[in-house]
Each structure stands twice: as C-alpha cells, then as structure tokens.
Amino acid sequence: MEITNHNLWTMVKKPMVYYTEETPGVNKRLVAGYYLFLCLIGFAILLGPTGSGIPITLVGNEIRDEHYVATPNLGTDPSDCVGCHDNEYNNWSTTAHATHMYTNGTHVRIGAYAWFAAAFFNSSCSECHTSGWDNSTGTPTYDALGVNCFACHTGDPVVDYSGDACAPCHLPSGEEHPHQMTAWENSAHANSLTDLRSSDHAASYCMHCMSTEGFIDQQAGGHATFEPTDDVNAVSCPACHAVHANWSSTEGQLRANSPTDLCGLCHVGERHTTYQTWTGGPHALAGVDCIDCHGYDVAPGDNEFLNHTFLVNLDKACGQSEECHKGLEDWAIDQLETYQASYEDLTAEIEAEVAAFKPIVLAYNDTADADHDLVDEVLAYVDAAADLVSYYDNDGSSGFHHPHQIFGELNAAFADLLDAKAHFYEMTGAGTTPPPVQADTLIIVAGAAGGIVVGLLLGVLVGRRR
C-alpha cells in the first residue's frame, strides 16, 4: 500500500494496539521491545542519582577528577587513560614527572644530573623515578621510567588531597634530594586548619584558602561549601601543584602562571593583605618574587631547593646572589629592621591615641546637648586610622613590603586623626585643647621612610646591573 501524508497522519492518530489473544496480527517483537524499553528506563531511574542503588556519574565537558572504579584493570600503559582523561594526560605529559627521564639502554639520566649506569639506577634511584616499582623479590623491577599515572594512582585511581602520595619520593633529604615534605610539615600551610579552628573567626568563607579541597574547588570555578569542621585537608601539595590539571603551568606544575600569582590567590583581601601591599613596593618593582625571599634555601651540598616552610632566612635570602644584596647583607637587614621599628612605633602611637580619644567622643555623644553630626565626623577619622593600622598589620611585614605607601598612608591617617581631635575640642570645649599636630615629627618619619625606600630600590637595581 502506498503511504501518503494523509495515510501516515491517519495511522499516527490511531491508538496503539497492544498484543492480546483477540489481536493476533500485532508484531510481538515490537511489543516486547517497547516493554523492554520501559523496563530499562525504570532500571536507570532506580540506579540513578535519585535512586538508592549504584550512583551514576554524570560527565560534562570536563572529566571529573574524583571518581571510583569498582574493579580497576588498568594495565601499565598511561595511554590507556587517554580515552577518559585526555586533558589530564596531555597536561601531565608536559610536566617534569613525565619528561625528566632519559635512557640509552645502558645508562639512565635523571633530569639535569649526570648519566647513571643502569645497575646503579635500578638499585639506588628507581623507587622514586619509575612507575610500577616492585621490590618484593629483593631485585627492583618497574614498568616504566618516569612518574606516570600508575606511580600515584595505585589500586583504585582515587584523588588524594593529603599529599601522602607525594611523601615517599619528596620526603628524603640529602645533597641530591629536595626535602619538600619535611619543610612543608613545619610550615603554616600544614597547620592551616589547626590555626583556623583555634581562631575566633573560623567560618566557611575561610575554607577556600585554608583547605586544599576548598582551594581547588574555587580555582576550578566551583561553588562547594566547606565548613571548618569538615573532614578536609590542610593546604597540602595538591593545593598549589596541579599534577595533571588543565589550568596547570609546567614550571613547578603550579595552579597559576607564576609562583607570585599563586601566592596572590590567597594572600589577598582585607584580612590577608600581603599581595596587594607588596605589589608596587621596591622588591616588586625590582622583579623580586615572593619565593625569591620566602622560598630561598640551600640544601646540603649547596644545591638550591625551594624552602617549603616559606620562612625567611634573612642572611641567606638577602645575600643569595649578586642580583640581590650579596656582600651587603648587613646593610639590607639594617634597612629591614629600621622599617619595622619605625612601623611598630608609629602604629603603637596611633593605637594609643585611638584608645584614649575614642571613649571621650563616645561619652560626649551620650550627653544631652551633643552634636551628633560632629561626633560622626570625628569618629570617621578615628575609625579610619584604626582600620588602616589593622589593614597593614594583616600584611605581616611591619612596613617592609611597601614602605613608601604604608608610611605615607599611616602618617596621613594619623594627621587626620589629630586634626579631628583638635577640631573636636575646639567645637565642644571638652577638656583642655590638645597641643597642635606635631607635623614636623610626621614629616621626619615619612621622609626617612621615603629615603630608605629609594636606597633599597637603588641597591637592588644596581645589584641587578652587575
């Protein structure tokens, strides 16, 4: 029969006929297939994310990093992972883990080190510089040179944010080995959650920088909520180092384009003002990065490795090279101490003035004839000075990261505070009018700070010209 548009529409409008004994002409395979389709839908709903059975992982444009495989049978070739993890594999293949090993069949080279005889490499180096390492028989064997998927993802390929997977190879110390884990364990990063939980302002909004899971989620554009009491990890290796993430830089495998950019992801804001304070300071203008001072270390044998405590050893950091202050370490440290002593004196004076003057203003505000507009005006200057001290205290450098800006703003705020105080006494007649603002003292402090900044900047730049 020729099917016309009219016939097709007529057939569509007719109700579907299910198989019964009275309708023997119906196609049984079609009906069976229909019921099978319905069963499959119900089965999927039962086992899906809303059911109580096996969860189904929904995969979008980016393959999820966190997952479990019930029965892993992954072999030994990392290319086996490409089918699902092409982003991770492609980025991993550019990192030092993948590219630091070379062999000519009889000798093996590790990074920039000399060639080692294969027998020596197998007995002394292979545990950390290979994948699939096995010493169960007393003779080390391995599947591949370099650190690939199967070196870290042993068993179920789960994500471990604790840094434990890094420890076996990055824990040793000695002339040839960077001892990052030992240093990290003594750092504020390792104690981030302990410090947060002992504070009086622990909150979920802190977790994006105080936990590894929170930091990674934020950088990935997520919006997960983490509480200080959650079972998460402190700021560990995976927080800063992306082994195989598509936002990873190959140098240091960082989650930012540079170490300083990485530091600026957390050390920024009202409570952690280091990055924005340091920006524009003399060291920043001279091209000195955060880790050039905070990460400088000399391991045994004078091999330089990043100091993962990030505590500054002034003698070593200031004198690390001709481009810095080598030979002028005493001068450089003296400048630092001058900054910090001046900062402590100035901020202490501001805080003392605020502590003494603010109660007087508030007491006047409670009187019957108080000029409340005057009170609001004066308190604005009082609070601005106190807030500025708090802001630069949160920088943590006591004036060193950007002396010209810090001392300039603090002196200006102090002058405004003293002017407001004088105006308050003049308008209210409360107490004895205080002495005029000691402008000469403020100018001297500001001038000395400016001279120190210029001297430091010239010293760094002249050193770099050498």
pLDDT 10s digits, 81-118: 888 888 888 888 888 888 888 899 899 998 877 899 99
Q: Are 333 and 459 contained in the same domain?
A: yes
Same domain, 34 and 115: no
pLDDT above 70 (res 43): no
Q: Which of 184, 216, 233 is the last residue of a domain?
A: 184
* Residues with Cβ within 8 Å of residue 314, at least 6 apart in sequence: 329, 332, 333, 336
**Is residue 401 a part of any domain in this protein?**
yes
Q: Does the residue 409 lie in any domain? A: yes
Is pTM beyond 0.75? Reply is no
pLDDT in tens, 15-40: 333 333 443 444 555 545 555 555 55
Exposure string of 407-439, with b = 16+ CB inside 10 Å and e = fewer, is beebbebbbbbbebbeebbeebeeeeeeeebee
Q: Domain of residue 451: give its range.
A: 329-465
- Cα separation, 196 vs 220, in Å, equals 23
Confidence band for 344, pLDDT divided at 50, 70 and 90? very high
The whole-number pLDDT of residue 388 equals: 98
Q: What is the pLDDT of residue 108?
A: 94
Residue 52 lies in a domain: no
Kindly state whether residue 231 falls inside one of the protein's structural domains: yes
Residue 359 forms part of a structural domain: yes
Residue 81 DSSP one-character state = G
Hey, how many other C-beta atoms are within 10 angstroms of the C-beta on 51? 14
**Mean predicted confidence (pLDDT) in 194-216:** 93
Residue (of 353, 359, 339, 355) closest to 406 by Cα position:
339
- Taking the C-alpha atoms of residue 434 and residue 346, their distance in angstroms, rounded to an integer, is 19
> What integer pLDDT is reported at residue 93 of this predicted model?
86
Residues 442 and 410 in one domain: yes
Pair 270, 144: CB distance under 8 Å: no
Domain end residue (candidates: 160, 184, 208): 184
Residue 292 within a domain? yes
Co-location of 403 and 442 in the same domain? yes
Q: How many angstroms from the chain centroid is the CA of residue 134?
A: 34
Q: What is the pLDDT of residue 156?
A: 60
The confidence score (pLDDT) of residue 49 equals: 39
| pLDDT-based confidence at residue 180 (cuts at 50, 70, 90) | confident
353, 430: one domain: yes
Q: What is the pLDDT of residues 113-168, one digit of tens each?
A: 789 999 999 999 999 999 989 999 989 999 999 998 888 887 665 678 898 888 88
pLDDT digits (tens, 9 = 90+) for 158-178: 678 898 888 888 887 666 677
Same domain, 337 and 461: yes
Q: 67-81, 246-260, 410-424, 440-454 — which is least confidently predicted? A: 440-454
Q: Are 162 and 216 within one domain?
A: no
Model pLDDT, residue 85: 83
Q: How far is CA 19 from CA 16, 25, 27, 101, in A?
A: 10, 8, 8, 68
Q: Does 140 lie in the same domain as 40?
A: no
Q: What is the pLDDT of residue 30?
A: 52
**Position with higher pLDDT, 335 vs 251:** 335
Residue 147, in any domain of the structure: yes
Residue 437 pLDDT > 50: no
Name the band, by pLDDT with cuts 50, 70 and 90, for residue 305: confident
What is the distance between the alpha carbons of residues 116 and 56, in angstroms, rounded to a whole number? 48
Looking at mean pLDDT, say which of 40-44, 148-152, 175-179, 333-337 comes out highest.
Answer: 333-337
- Flag whether 444 is in a domain: yes
Average pLDDT, the chain: 78
What is the per-residue pLDDT for 57? 32
Per-residue model confidence (pLDDT) at position 70: 37
Highest mean pLDDT among 49-58, 67-76, 266-275, 425-434 belongs to 266-275
Say whether both 384 and 461 belong to one domain. Answer: yes
One domain for residues 307 and 333: no
Final residue before a domain boundary, out of 184, 213, 248: 184
CA distances from 199 to 194, 228, 272, 309 (A): 9, 11, 15, 21
Average pLDDT over residues 219-223: 84
- Cα separation of 407 and 414, whole Å? 10
Residue 421 pLDDT greater than 90, yes or no:
yes
What is the reported pLDDT for 59? 32
Distances (CA, A) of 389 to 16, 92, 270, 406: 80, 45, 12, 9
- pLDDT for the residue numbered 353: 98
- What is the total count of domains within the chain? 4
Q: Which residue has the higher pLDDT, 330 or 463?
A: 330
Are residues 261 and 353 both part of a single domain? no
Q: Is 406's pLDDT higher than 50?
A: yes
Please tell me the predicted confidence (pLDDT) of residue 119.
93
Residue 187's SS3 state is: coil
- Report the chain's C-alpha Rg in angstroms: 33
Alpha-carbon span 203 to 196, nearest angstrom: 8
